[in-house]
């Protein structure tokens, strides 16, 4: 497994070794010991979620506040997504900046997102099955979000805006400058 730091500190791109043969492929999808050595701290994933979505579905931009803030490890089991994170740590020099990466089931890259980031993705393939490992339990009372189409954030979701499918809850989130952020 290979790890690379992204331009925004804390974000890690994980690339499992993929072994292909006539049967298909095998990959060691996650190794806690190697990952913890790379990030220099312990991680305890306690919940795993899977979503299945069609082309154009946009989920996000979500985060949870303390004491239920979550670090996440995002991977795609089927299909392709554009994964987007926004740094919402006020003390960060990257505050308000976004990071984007395409994740798919071909190269099996993953993105580790520490606490202090809003997260969302849009499906670029016909369907996508996305897996989220998290280090804290989901609690709806502590869930927050940002408007996915906030002009301040100016995120290029890589698909026509008319093709984006968003639920009512995600449409109702406030803009970037009026939301709760991490210190």
Q: How many CB atoms lie within 10 A of CB 178?
A: 9
Phi, psi values for residue 15, rounded to 5°: -125, 100
Q: Which two tokens stand for residue 152?
A: 């301040």
Residues 6 or more apart whose CB falls under 8 angstroms from that of 101 comprise 6, 13, 82, 83, 109, 111
Known catalytic membership, residue 173: no
**Catalytic position from the list 132, 137, 173, 180:** 132
Structure tokens at 175: 């803009």
Answer for the pair 100, 154: CB distance below 8 angstroms, yes or no: no
Token couple for 40: 């220099």
62 is an active site residue = yes
Catalytic residue of the set 62, 94, 137, 173: 62
Q: Which sequence positions are flagged as catalytic?
A: 62, 132
């Amino acid at each position: 497994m290979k790890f690379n730091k992204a331009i925004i500190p804390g974000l890690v791109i994980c690339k499992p070794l993929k072994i292909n043969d006539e049967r298909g492929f095998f990959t060691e999808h996650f190794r806690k010991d190697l990952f913890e050595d790379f990030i220099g701290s312990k991680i305890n994933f306690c919940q795993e979620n899977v979503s299945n979505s069609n082309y154009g579905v946009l989920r996000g931009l979500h985060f949870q506040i303390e004491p239920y803030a979550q670090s996440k490890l995002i991977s795609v089991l089927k299909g392709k997504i554009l994964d987007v994170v926004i740094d919402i740590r006020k003390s960060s020099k990257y505050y308000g900046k976004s990071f984007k990466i395409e994740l798919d089931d071909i190269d099996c890259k993953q993105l580790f997102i520490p606490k202090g980031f809003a997260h969302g993705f849009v499906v670029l393939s016909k369907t996508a099955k996305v897996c989220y490992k998290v280090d804290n339990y989901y609690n709806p009372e502590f869930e927050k979000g940002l408007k996915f189409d906030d002009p301040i954030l100016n995120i290029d979701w890589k698909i026509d805006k008319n093709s984006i499918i968003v639920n009512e809850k995600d449409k109702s989130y406030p803009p970037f400058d009026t939301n709760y952020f991490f210190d």
